[in-house]
Chains A and B, each alone.
Chain A
Amino acid sequence: MIRVRGLCKNFGAFRALDELNLDVLPGQVLGLLGPNGAGKTTTVRVLTTLLAPDAGEVTVAGHSVMADPDSVRRSIGLSGQYAAVDEKLTGYENLVMVARLYGMNRKTSAARATELLDEFRLSDVAGKRSGAYSGGMRRRLDLAGAMVARPPVVVLDEPTTGLDPRGRLDTWAVISSLVGNGTTVLLTTQYLEEADQLADNIAVIDAGRVIAEGTASELKSRVGSERIDVVLVRQDSVDSAAAILGRIAGAAPEIDRQTSKVSVAAPDGHHMLVRALGDLEIAQLQVVEAALRRPTLDDVFLQLTGQRPKAAAASNTTDVASSGVGQDQEVLLS
């Protein structure tokens, strides 16, 4: 449904997209995951004909975005990063306007608007100005706008950015129901759990390239085994603890000094945890918390790019072997 080959886009000297390749099959949900500035929004803007690419081949529902943008616009619904609703118009008026702009007549537009308001649980507020809506309601109205013409392809750019947890769950429910209808969806997100939750396939992008692709569980298993997390009582004991864990696991641990946390891949899960605790005890390093866990998409990202995605970037993580491990992994995956 969506096919992208060798897509390049420069903004001045900045290379936003660098030979990007993507495929989304009919009925599939692809999550485009990456930190700020990775090229997610640029990709969306090219796919929705808002931005002309510098090089590459992009087809949506069989139409080229360069050669036949109008056909692309007819097959695509866009919900951008900011809920693009007219605040002075009611929910109903917003949807009628979009329907009319798709070329529907008044009667059909009115019927479609009513139907969508119902489907997106906005019937109660249909007659209120959308400026008075909550963030979640505005976002649902925006999504409804993208669905007016029942497009086979829907593109959602960070659909839950700026929403409170409640609004986020609402939006997830709406997106999941789209997926049930067989709509092809491309969604971008900075939230790993969101991609995990909604997407069949995930493409991790960084610096304008896809650096890994697969299902959430494939990506997790590529990172390898379970991980051991140890939180220490004293901040100055993290280095000694990291040395011990590194020796046991035979891999470079990752250190978060702010939270005094050391984390390492543990191919031989609980045996290693027991040994680690023993060795830490002998070295007289006091432990607050020790845990064995399945790798998260956070770990995937760290392995692939050497940095945490934005959602987790607040914690001051340093990856001891970021260059080494990161590059190995990248070669392995690409």
Chain B
Amino acid sequence: MSSLSAALRDSSVIAGRNLRNVIRTPGAMVTSVAQPIMFVLLLAFVFGGTLGGAEYRTFLIGGILAQTLTFNASFTAVYLAKDLQLGLIDRFRSLPMSRGAVILGRSSADLVTSLLSIAVTLLCGLAIGWRMTNGLGPALIAMGLLLLFTFAVSWVGAVIALTARSVEVAQSLGLIWLFPVTFISGAFVSVQSMPGPLRNFAEWNPVTAVATSVRELFGNAEPQGFAPPSGWPADNALLYAVLCCVAIIAIFAPLAISQYVRISKR
């Protein structure tokens, strides 16, 4: 068997195991379901009235998707840290299996959790008046981009877990970076309204690119009062978003695997 097909087979065994775990821990799924609902309602009705009412609610959904999927990186971090703490990673590392399979199996399984988050967010969106107006083709491209993005950020979660080594540390480290990264972005507001350095950060933030692309693909416009995004990343949002995902994977996957190979519990 070639090493690539062996790696894929090992990853699918691990992914299957992870999915069983997710299904048998219904409590863990509550977060991935409740969080998008909570943010949709919070932003749509607490902030939304000030920010543009019905128009803002339509605008919001792309941002919530980008935010929710970034947050899913913390699930990857926590699950992986748990396996490490339980000694399961030791067992896997002592087996003649492919080196990247444990993490690839993790991030693949987390795609399923992400699909659930996407579905819940879109249903919420439909309930508050969001619609996709560009047809099915672009909508499918948007879904593809969202899955690529969540797959990419879960490698960041993996690096966090393998650096933190304990569930508690992985939990807090895995969560803390998410707030600046998702909020200093165009996910919920106009980037143009931010002061200098924050604006630069937000303009080039992959979360902004994902939110902007998804809105474009769904055919959702900015509310009246929002300055439309400008600059290269905004003009080429989809291209830039895909490039970001590829870059994140290119940086964090080798990092995660090299940490996995060397990791020791003490």
A-contact 0/1 string along B92-110, CB 8 Å cutoff: 1111110001000000000
Contact of A73 among B9, B90, B95, B266 (CB under 8 A): B95
Chain A residue with the shortest CB-CB distance to B22: A88
Chain A residue with the shortest CB-CB distance to B93: A50
- For B10, B24, B86, B96, which residue has the most chain A Cβ atoms within 10 angstroms? B96
If A50-B90, A50-B264, A100-B13 touch, whether A88 touches B21 (CB-CB below 8 Å) is: yes
Query: For chain B residues 63-102, which have a beta carbon within 8 Å of chain A?
Result: 86-88, 90-97, 101
Contact of A78 among B14, B25, B91, B264 (CB under 8 A): B91
Q: Could you say which residues of chain A place their CB within 8 Å of the CB of B9? A: 100
Chain B residue with the shortest CB-CB distance to A69: B96
Instruction: Please give the distance in Å from A10's CB to the nearest CB on chain B.
Output: 13
Bound Cα distance from A114 to B1, whole angstroms:
26
Chain B residue with the shortest CB-CB distance to A99: B13
Supplied contacts A49-B94, A85-B88, A88-B25, 12 more A-B pairs, CB within 8 Å: A45-B264, A50-B93, A74-B96, A84-B88, A84-B90, A89-B21, A97-B17, A101-B10, A102-B95, A103-B96, A129-B24, A145-B91
Q: Could you say which residues of chain A place their CB within 8 Å of the CB of B21? A: 86, 88-89
Chain A residue with the shortest CB-CB distance to B89: A84
The range of chain A's interface size is 20 to 34
B-contact 0/1 string along A87-119, CB 8 Å cutoff: 111000100011011110000000000000000
In the bound complex, do residue A70 and residue B91 qualify as a contact, i.e. CB atoms below 8 Å apart?
A: no
Bound Cα distance from A83 to B88, whole angstroms:
9
Q: Could you say which residues of chain B place their CB within 8 Å of the CB of A85? A: 88
Chain A interface, >50% SS class: loop
Instruction: Please give the distance in Å from A138's CB to the nearest CB on chain B.
Output: 11
Chain A residue with the shortest CB-CB distance to B98: A101
- The reply on A48 being an interface residue by CB < 8 A is yes
Instruction: Please give the distance in Å from A74's CB to the nearest CB on chain B.
Output: 5
The range of chain B's interface size is 20 to 34
Chain B interface, >50% SS class: helix
Q: Could you say which residues of chain B place their CB within 8 Å of the CB of A103? A: 1, 6, 96
Instruction: Please give the distance in Å from B243's CB to the nearest CB on chain A.
Output: 35
Q: Could you say which residues of chain A place their CB within 8 Å of the CB of B92? A: 101
Bound Cα distance from A85 to B93, whole angstroms:
14
- The reply on B131 being an interface residue by CB < 8 A is no
Q: Could you say which residues of chain B place their CB within 8 Å of the CB of A50? A: 90, 93-94, 264
Chain B residue with the shortest CB-CB distance to A87: B86
Chain B residue with the shortest CB-CB distance to A82: B87
Bound Cα distance from A11 to B265, whole angstroms:
12
Q: Could you say which residues of chain B place their CB within 8 Å of the CB of A100? A: 9, 13
Q: Could you say which residues of chain A place their CB within 8 Å of the CB of B10? A: 101
- The reply on A252 being an interface residue by CB < 8 A is no
Query: For chain A residues 53-93, which have a beta carbon within 8 Å of chain B?
Result: 70, 73-74, 76, 78, 80-89, 93
In the A-B complex, the 8 residue pairs with the closest CB atoms: A84-B87, A73-B96, A84-B91, A78-B94, A82-B87, A100-B13, A88-B21, A88-B24
Bound Cα distance from A268 to B6, whole angstroms:
67
Instruction: Please give the distance in Å from A70's CB to the nearest CB on chain B.
Output: 5
A-contact 0/1 string along B121-158, CB 8 Å cutoff: 00000000000000000000000000000000000000
Bound Cα distance from A87 to B88, whole angstroms:
10
Q: Could you say which residues of chain A place their CB within 8 Å of the CB of B264? A: 45, 50-51
If A78-B94, A145-B91 touch, whether A88 touches B13 (CB-CB below 8 Å) is: no
If A81-B87, A86-B88, A88-B24 touch, whether A49 touches B6 (CB-CB below 8 Å) is: no
In the bound complex, do residue A82 and residue B93 qualify as a contact, i.e. CB atoms below 8 Å apart?
A: no
B-contact 0/1 string along A122-148, CB 8 Å cutoff: 000000010000000000000001000
Q: Could you say which residues of chain A place their CB within 8 Å of the CB of B20? A: 88-89, 93
